């Protein structure tokens, strides 16, 4: 992506709030305050995430939800081969960081979503998991919407009676880490001795882990970091984002017609090889 295109996407993604990231969840504590933060398979409420409330279901909601699933099944057929997605310009978000679900993002489609132009045929991100052979397996897609959208506006895209839109909040980033860094997949992995990272003395593999995860190896920062308020973030040498990106919702259309699965909060496991 050239600089002009990156700037255009950045502006679109930050129209309503400071932002820079996609879905992230804990991989688990390692040593004390050090815990890698990466995309996870289970999302929940907390200091770093808010979700839309449920609404009573209507027949029209159910029909719309099934239509979204059918639309995605048709639209995503060719992307079962992840190489097709990459050849068409999709970019893997943080490809060097181990994740439960990987986001392949089409920045043009994402830009349209963050400008309020949603089309169920063209989700901003495709969702993949890795199987035991390390191959990417398509499991679904993610739609996004502006941070200032009302519940009614979100409901018009994906019904709140079948899905929970979510937003990431109170994200502390180390000073020097910018939105453009994250969009480029740069986690500052060259700084392997940042405070809070795995002590080099604790493991022979610590330097390699720190380089791979960058600031995400520091359990204080990021989307599941221990810091969730401005004062603590400032004291740790960081800056707090009250909301990162806008609203997002995952759809997993390939596991039958159960809406609780298709619009659920858990990432489906890939089939056995």
* Cα–Cα distance measured from residue 120 to residue 135, given in angstroms and rounded to the nearest whole number: 26
Q: Which residues pair with 243 in a beta bridge?
A: 169
CA-nearest of 127, 137, 180, 229 to 8 is: 180
The whole-angstrom distance between residue 223's C-alpha and the CA centroid of its chain comes to 10
Sign of CA dihedral 59, 65, 68, 70: negative
pLDDT tens-place string over residues 254-269: 988 999 999 998 888 8
pLDDT at 268: 82
Which residue numbers in the chain have pLDDT < 50? 1-43, 192, 195-202
CA distances from 183 to 93, 177, 252 (A): 7, 11, 24
* Cα–Cα distance measured from residue 251 to residue 11, given in angstroms and rounded to the nearest whole number: 26
The CA radius of gyration of the chain, in Å to the nearest whole number, is 18
CB atoms within 10 A of CB 78: 10
Domain segments of the chain as ranges: 3-168+246-260
Q: Is residue 84 a contact partner of residue 122, using CB atoms and an 8 Å limit? A: no
* Cα–Cα distance measured from residue 214 to residue 234, given in angstroms and rounded to the nearest whole number: 19
pLDDT tens-place string over residues 221-257: 888 788 999 999 999 999 998 887 889 999 999 988 9
The DSSP secondary-structure symbol of 4 reads H
Q: Is residue 245 a contact partner of residue 159, using CB atoms and an 8 Å limit? A: no
Number of alpha carbons in the 13 Å side-chain half-sphere of residue 12:
21
pLDDT at 126: 97
């Amino acid at each position: 992506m050239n600089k002009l295109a990156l700037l255009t996407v950045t502006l679109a993604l930050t129209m309503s709030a400071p932002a820079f990231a996609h879905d992230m969840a804990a991989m688990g504590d390692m040593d004390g305050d050090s815990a890698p933060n990466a995309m996870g398979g289970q999302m929940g409420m907390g200091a770093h995430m808010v979700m839309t409330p449920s609404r009573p279901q209507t027949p029209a909601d159910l029909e719309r939800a099934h239509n979204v699933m059918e639309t995605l099944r048709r639209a995503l057929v060719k992307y079962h081969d992840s190489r097709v997605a990459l050849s068409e310009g999709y970019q893997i978000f943080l490809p060097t960081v181990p994740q439960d679900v990987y986001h392949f993002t089409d920045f043009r489609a994402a830009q349209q979503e963050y400008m309020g132009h949603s089309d169920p045929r063209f989700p901003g991100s495709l969702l993949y998991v890795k199987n035991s052979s390390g191959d990417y397996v398509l499991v679904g897609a993610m739609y996004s919407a502006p941070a200032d959208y009302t519940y009614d506006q979100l409901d018009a895209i994906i019904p709140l009676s079948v899905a929970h839109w979510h937003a990431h909040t109170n994200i502390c980033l180390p000073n020097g880490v910018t939105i453009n860094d994250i969009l480029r997949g740069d986690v500052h992995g060259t700084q392997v001795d940042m405070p809070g990272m795995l002590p080099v003395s604790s493991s022979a593999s610590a330097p390699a882990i720190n380089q791979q995860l960058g600031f995400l190896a520091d359990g204080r920062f990021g989307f599941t970091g221990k810091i969730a308020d401005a004062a603590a973030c400032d004291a740790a040498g960081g800056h707090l984002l009250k909301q990162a990106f806008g609203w997002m919702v995952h759809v997993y259309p390939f596991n039958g017609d159960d809406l609780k699965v298709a619009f659920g909060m858990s990432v489906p496991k890939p089939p056995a090889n």
